Amino acid sequence: MRKIVALFVGLVISGTLSANNLVPKQVNSLEILDAMAELRARPNNSALAMAPNGAFGTSWNYATPEQAIEAASSNCQKHANNAKCEVVFVNNTVVNSDSIYESALRADLNSQLIQVHPVIPANHFPAGIAGKAYLRTAFLEYTRFHGQKAFAVSPDGSWAYQAEKASLDVAKAQALQQCVRNSTDKACRLVDLNHVSQTQLIEIDEYNGKVAAKVTEIPSIIATYNGIHQYRHFLSLLGYKALAIAPGRVSGSRGELHFVFGLENEQEAKRQALQKCQKFTASECQLVMLNDRVFGTMIALPEVPPNVSPLVSSEVTLGAALQRFQHPDFKAKGNWAVAGNGLRSIGYVEDYIEIEQATARAIAICESFSAIRDEPSGQCQLVILNGQIVR
């Protein structure tokens, strides 16, 4: 009988030693592993609860396991914000989780801490932070760290990042939590995870003293080179934002795009952009972008034309209304066109990407002025195109 008892005791001791090497597979930080190691030296009853965001709570020396579980859960929830805590370790035994050897998990977590990520190209930033110098500075600082990491930003310009974590889930959750604490609108979003942009990655440069995005595509509805500049600048702006276009604006090619930014929500951004646009056209304005979403198709970025198109030759005799297009001080960018009706009305546009668009727009403007003056309709024709007389 003594031999049987001795054999049974030996199995129990062997099983306990093996269990002491096991930890919950879902443990996501070295801090939690260290806390479990400390619990093994504490008196029972003991417990550990943890949350996906890395929060955890421990308890020991309680009268019953149930009391230890309740205390550990309560301690964890104090630090977990809205994340749900789950008990995974009771009296040195894994519960509610698959098990893994501590040495294997510790080695894996240590490897995650020192993971090196691909280098982000120079001057490239996630859309939504590129427009502010302090955000670019913070992002460059963030890129120097290794390990699992995340960068979060709020529409009001608040930000936070977490790096050198052993779990990407922990980095994401903690970056968002810290950003929300810093923010007034509590609407933070992740813009980078381990050097993988969660929104459009844009290259910035300077034009007209403003930060702008370098782009390879533009919305197809943009008709002018000035519109491309406005679009580039819009991409770098912060907060809830919207970009609208005024089709058929009588005053010409400049300023057909209208945008707002830094608003409190998408609905307000959309409303204000369309309202701002509508002041400049009798036609119905169209939404081009809402935050990072494009409405409509995209086309390849057109080549930038020479700064100045040729003047009309001085050897050509023009009427008084058209002689300014021969003056040495006259300058026109992009494709430019002049339409007239042989009376007083003319229409002039410049900076257009497509010749056909410039032609149609010049004729439309000429017809608009003709109607205002009660002149015969349908008489406007193309007169000048990029410095060449059209017969």
49 has a pLDDT exceeding 60: yes
Coil, helix or strand for 203?
A: strand
pLDDT, one tens digit per residue, over 129-145 is 766 778 888 998 999 89
DSSP notation for 56-116? EEEE-S-SSHHHHHHHHHHHHHTTSTTSPPEEEEETTEE-SS-EEEHHHHHHHHHHHHT--
Which residue, among 369, 309, 310, 307, has the nearest Cα to 339 in the 3D structure? 369
The residue behind tokens 């970009």 is: 243
Query: Would you say 27 and 108 are in contact if contact means Cβ atoms under 8 Å apart?
Result: no
pLDDT, one tens digit per residue, over 6-37 is 322 332 333 333 456 889 988 988 899 999 99
* Strand arrangement of the beta sheet that strand 148-153 belongs to: 159-165, 148-153, 189-193, 196-197
Query: Would you say 151 and 175 are in contact if contact means Cβ atoms under 8 Å apart?
Result: yes
What's the confidence (pLDDT) of residue 33? 92
**What is the band of 46 on the pLDDT scale with cuts at 50, 70, 90?**
very high
Question: Cα separation of 310 and 330, whole Å?
Answer: 10
Question: Cα separation of 53 and 110, whole Å?
Answer: 18
Residue 146 burial by Cβ neighbours in a 10 Å radius (0-12, 13-18, 19+) = middle
Query: Would you say 168 and 109 are in contact if contact means Cβ atoms under 8 Å apart?
Result: no
Would you mind telling me the total number of residues written for the chain in this entry? Answer: 391
Coil, helix or strand for 179?
A: helix
Report in angstroms the alpha-carbon separations of 170 from 30, 153, 191, 194.
Answer: 12, 17, 16, 13
Could you tell me the sign of the dihedral formed by the alpha carbons of 97, 100, 101, 106, in that order?
Answer: negative
1 has a pLDDT exceeding 70: no
Q: How many CA atoms lie within 13 A of 250 on its CB side?
A: 14
pLDDT, one tens digit per residue, over 90-105 is 999 999 888 888 889 8
**What is the band of 213 on the pLDDT scale with cuts at 50, 70, 90?**
low
What's the confidence (pLDDT) of residue 95? 92
pLDDT, one tens digit per residue, over 170-212 is 999 999 999 998 888 778 889 999 999 888 777 765 444 455 5
Instruction: For residue 134, count other CB atoms closer than 10 A to its CB.
Output: 10
Instruction: For residue 309, count other CB atoms closer than 10 A to its CB.
Output: 19
Q: Is the peptide bond before 45 cis (omega within 30 degrees of 0)?
A: yes
Domain boundaries, the chain: 2-111, 124-201, 215-300, 320-389
What's the confidence (pLDDT) of residue 6? 32
Q: Which are the contacts of 73, defined by CB distance < 8 A and separation ≥ 6?
A: 47, 49, 57, 85, 87
Question: Cα separation of 367 and 360, whole Å?
Answer: 11
pLDDT, one tens digit per residue, over 352-365 is 888 898 898 899 88
What's the confidence (pLDDT) of residue 69? 95
What's the confidence (pLDDT) of residue 114? 84
Report in angstroms the alpha-carbon separations of 97 from 16, 26, 27.
Answer: 18, 7, 10
301 has a pLDDT exceeding 50: yes
**What percentage of the chain exceeds 90 in pLDDT?**
29
**What percentage of the chain exceeds 70 in pLDDT?**
83
145: tokens are 């760290």
User: 51 vs 251, which has greater pLDDT?
Assistant: 51
